Chain A
Amino acid sequence: MSATLIVFFVLAALAVLGAVNLIVQRHPIHSALSLIVVMVALAGLYLLLGAEFVAAVQIIVYGGAIMVLFTFVIMLLNAGEEEHTNFSKLANIAGIPLAVAIAGFIAATIVHSGQPLPPAAAQGSLTNTKTLSMMIFRDFVYPFELTSFLILVAILGAIVLAQRER
């Protein structure tokens, strides 16, 4: 087993365990912390694929900015432990079979395709920051700017909603 594969399995296990822990934990803060572990593990996986820039941005944006806001809100609201309500009947009956079915479907698709996915570096796309910026700011500049416009609108909307009535 090569070193890369070992690192992959460690990170993958970390991501999955973090995700499971996120659901199992009762305290919102602990759940948020587990989600951070998932984000960081995912960044590690990106790094393993050779997408260094994406990995760093994943930690800065998701691990840092967004999750900080999550924990911030949880702390400010001083949310206590969750109380378990009665599960919905549908989830109780159909939940586990459905989960197994979806997992089986994904596994079957992967196995059926037969060949391993080509390595990311071979596609020569997102490995280099320069190529990435070329794509964003030259090839796809209009969709990119449109997206930023959309985000701007969302920010304005948030400000309008949060503003006190005068």
Chain B
Amino acid sequence: MNEVLTQYAFLIAAIIKIVILVFIVLTVDAYLTWLERKVIAHIQARWGPRRTGPFGLLQPLADGLKFILKEDPTPTGVDKTAYFLAPFLTLLLAVTSLAIIPFGPDFKVFGYTTNFGIADVNISILVLFAITALSVYGVALAGWASNNKYSLLGGLRSSAQMISYELAMTLSVVGVLLIAGDFSLKGIVLQQEFPKLGLLSWNIFAIGHGYGFTQVIGFFCYFIAAIAETNRIPFDLPEAESELVAGYHTEYASMKFAMFFIAEYTAMLTVSCLATVLFFGGWLSPFPGSWTFTQYLPTLLLFGLGAYAIYMSIGYETMLGRLVMPGVGTAMIVIGVVLALIPDLNHFVQGPFWFVAKVFAFLFFYIWMRGTLPRFRYDQLMTFGWKFLLPVSIANVVLTSAVMLWRMPR
């Protein structure tokens, strides 16, 4: 029995991790919509959702319920196979791409060491690009199958945009690959740990790295291309409301629409995770290794959030606010105390804590841009991609390899 267990341990571990990851990802997606509405509302001097639950925190649940209960009519004249395939394909590929992201260092459970992520492939970055390459089909098919000219235009715009910016995105990463000498995302993160200078040894700065070279240009190209890949403002031409109704998902309703929606937010998540891993040190702390007191930052954050929740509950008049909010606040403080008292647990939390903090910063930046920037015109989009971003990312590859060659010990 025990032998069989050790033989299939990796499979069991993988299944458990997949279930947990999918659950977390869907929750994060849901609350990302809440965050987006809230942040944009505050940018525009509004309140955003605040009726459903404290701070409108139950709004995603209400939205989800609405998606499930809505009628799902199939328009006439659609291509059935492609019409039904498109949302599933989009969501499947979006969630699959998260499987190769390492969220933290390897850890031990019941004496079994496993990696903090689902798959640790030694070509993980290529796998990610392969999945990105395939995810064009979901959007293109949705646009074509809907039998609607706006959908078709949206789908075509999206395919053209994704093909154009995929090149710049792939090339912008080459600099990091040159420094790391490794295709594995875990390897890329581990290589950024040294020489223990905290955030200065991350690939974006790459200071004191022997023969590395700062990847600011690479990051700049990567992030712009990534925004274009995920069809977000200012590159959201495939679903430009004022021109195309809603672009490729005009004819989709109910859960099928929600699938496109979830896929878009998951893609944002993946892209932010990848930016974190490649340029910002993944799960590594931004402080030098000698600053040991920084390991109590998660505790401090939990204390702050808990105190804020309790303080905010004072003004609430509903039962929910008066009972649940102080409860949640107290729970946060208790978890903080537990973390501070159990060193093993605190050590385990460090990696994911920093990873989540960095990814959150990127997601916030995404939303910030949506609240700030206008949309590109289509010819501007193409000119920018091909005549500016692509040459700059090629120049980054040449520059990085030249500097590395020059500084390499001979």
Listed in ascending order, the chain A residues whose CB lies under 8 Å from chain B are: 27, 29-30, 33, 36, 40, 43, 52-53, 56-57, 59-60, 63-65, 68-69, 71-72, 75-76, 129
Contacts and interface: CB of A to CB of B under 8 A. Distances in A.
B237 to A, nearest CB: 16
Contacts of B132: 64
B27 interface: no
Query: Chain B, interface size: which category?
Result: 20 to 34
A129 B137 contact: no
B159 A68 contact: yes
A59 B129 CA distance: 9
B133 A76 contact: no
If over half of B's interface residues share one DSSP class (helix, strand or loop), that class is named, otherwise mixed; here it is: helix
A30 B136 CA distance: 16
Contacts of B221: none
B130 A59 contact: yes
7 contacts: A29-B79, A33-B141, A53-B123, A71-B141, A71-B159, A72-B156, A72-B160
B74 to A, nearest CB: 18
Contact of A59 (B133, B155, B160, B163): B133
A71 B140 contact: yes
A75 B155 contact: yes
A52 B123 CA distance: 7
A76 B156 contact: yes
Nearest to B182: A129
Interface in B144-158: 144, 152, 155-156
B126 A53 contact: yes
Given A57-B126, A129-B183, A30 B133 contact: no
A50 B160 CA distance: 33
A56 B140 contact: no
A139 B159 CA distance: 37
Interface of B: 79, 81-82, 85, 121-123, 126-127, 129-130, 132-134, 136-137, 140-141, 143-144, 152, 155-156, 159-160, 163, 166, 183
Contacts of B155: 75
Contact of B129 (A60, A68, A75, A76): A60
Main secondary structure of the interface of A (DSSP, over half): helix
Contact of B127 (A56, A69, A129): A56
Given A33-B82, A72-B140, A129 B130 contact: no
A65 B163 contact: yes
A37 B323 CA distance: 54
A17 to B, nearest CB: 15
B123 A129 contact: yes
Contacts of B130: 43, 56, 59-60, 63-64
A75 B163 contact: no
Contact of B144 (A43, A52, A68, A75): A75
A40 B127 CA distance: 12
Contacts, number: 71
A52 B134 contact: no
A68 B133 CA distance: 9
A75 B140 contact: yes
Contacts of A71: 137, 140-141, 144, 159
A59 B136 CA distance: 13
Nearest to B132: A64
* Most chain B beta carbons < 10 A, residue from A57, A59, A76: A59
A68 B140 contact: yes
B79 A27 contact: yes
A101 to B, nearest CB: 35
By Cβ-Cβ distance, the 9 closest A-B pairs, closest first, are A64-B133, A56-B126, A59-B130, A52-B123, A75-B144, A60-B133, A60-B130, A56-B130, A68-B136
Contact of B121 (A43, A52, A64, A69): A52
Contacts of B82: 29-30, 33
Contacts of B144: 29, 71, 75
Given A75-B144, A75-B152, A68 B126 contact: no
A115 B129 CA distance: 38
Contact of A56 (B129, B137, B163): B129
A68 B156 contact: no
A68 B166 CA distance: 12
Contacts of A57: 126
B10 to A, nearest CB: 12
A108 to B, nearest CB: 37
B127 to A, nearest CB: 6
Contacts of A76: 156
Contacts of B152: 75
Contacts of B129: 56, 60
Contacts of A36: 134, 137
A29 B81 CA distance: 10
Nearest to A75: B144
Nearest to A58: B130
B121 A68 contact: no
Nearest to A68: B136
A133 to B, nearest CB: 11
A64 B123 contact: no
B397 to A, nearest CB: 14
Contact of B163 (A29, A33, A68): A68
B79 A64 contact: no
